[in-house]
Structure 1
Amino acid sequence: MANLRVHNDRLEVHLTPAEKSLAFRGADVIVQRDDIRSATITDDPWIWVRGIRRRGTEVPLVIAVGAWKTHSGSDFVLVKGKRQAVVLELSGGEFDRLVLSTSRAAELIDRLKVGGAEDDAATDAAVEEATGD
């Protein structure tokens, strides 16, 4: 299961070897925090999967991992089952949007807030068990 790490300047999506294989991707996904425009929690992540699978694996309503081509660019999708997910709209970088299943969506959003109650040192923590089993 992927781990999400929130740092002062970036969000890192550390993929497991199996997820990297399914996504046909050799590297983890790294997004600069300045590029995150909005974050949304959804109970049905499948309605957020858009476009055509460019590189990755999909079994509808079971798993979707990889890059999806859209009219505006591309999205990175890591959705498993009907778990809650976070949708991050991005303004720059490799992807236009990330759709990530996570059992700790609210915690991830709190850690991404700019000027939140948490100290910067606490922000360098991981949101473990990002995508469940």
Structure 2
Amino acid sequence: MANLRVHADRLEVELTGAEKTLAFRGGDLVVQRDDIRSATITDDPWIWIRGIRTRGTEIPLVVAAGVWKYHGGSDFVLVKGKRQAIVLDLSAGEFARLILTTNHAAELVERLRVAAAPEPDGDA
């Protein structure tokens, strides 16, 4: 399962070797924090997949990994089975949406929210 790392300025999606092979992708994904418009937790990630697969692997309800193209752009999908997933809508970058299964969706959303909170200005 991909390792998701939240930094102050970016989210890194570190793919395993098998995931890179299934997705036909050579490297990991990096998304700037400012580009994340929304984060949604879903128990059925399969209904969020839109368009047609242009690069990657798909066995319906088992695994979907790679790039899906739709009329407005491209999405990166890494869905395994019927696990909980996070859907990230993006405003800029390589993809319009990331759909990623993870065992830690709630924690990820919380870390994205907390890290994005404004810092106090020091005036009391």
Instruction: Verify same fold: TM over 0.5.
Output: yes
- Superposed CA deviations along residues 31-67 of structure 1, whole A, max 9, x for unmatched, are 0000000000000000001100010000000000001
For residues 67-106 of structure 1, the aligned pairs below 5 Å read: 67-106=67-106
In structure 1, distance between residues paired with 2:54 and 2:10: 25
In structure 1, distance between residues paired with 2:8 and 2:67: 26
- The residue aligned with 2:111 is 111
For residues 1-133 of structure 1, the aligned pairs below 5 Å read: 1-113=1-113, 114-115=116-117
The number of equivalent residue pairs is 117
In structure 1, distance between residues paired with 2:82 and 2:19: 17
TM-score w.r.t. length of structure 2: 0.92
Q: Which has the higher contact order (CA 8 A, sep 6+)?
A: 1
In the TM superposition, what is the alpha-carbon distance from 1:100 to its structure 2 partner?
Answer: 0.5
In the TM superposition, what is the alpha-carbon distance from 1:2 to its structure 2 partner?
Answer: 1.1
* Alignment-mate amino acid for residue 4 of structure 2: L
The structure number with the bigger radius of gyration is 2
In structure 2, distance between residues paired with 1:95 and 1:46: 18
Write out the 4+ residue segments of structure 1 that deviate beyond 3 Å after TM superposition. Answer: none
Aligned-pair identity (%): 75
Q: Secondary structure at the match of 1:41?
A: strand
What are the ranges of 5 or more consecutive residues in structure 1 without an aligned counterpart?
Answer: 117-133
Cα RMSD (Å): 1.2
What are the ranges of 5 or more consecutive residues in structure 2 without an aligned counterpart?
Answer: 119-124
Q: Secondary structure at the match of 1:95?
A: coil
In the TM superposition, what is the alpha-carbon distance from 1:115 to its structure 2 partner?
Answer: 0.8
Q: Secondary structure at the match of 2:58?
A: strand
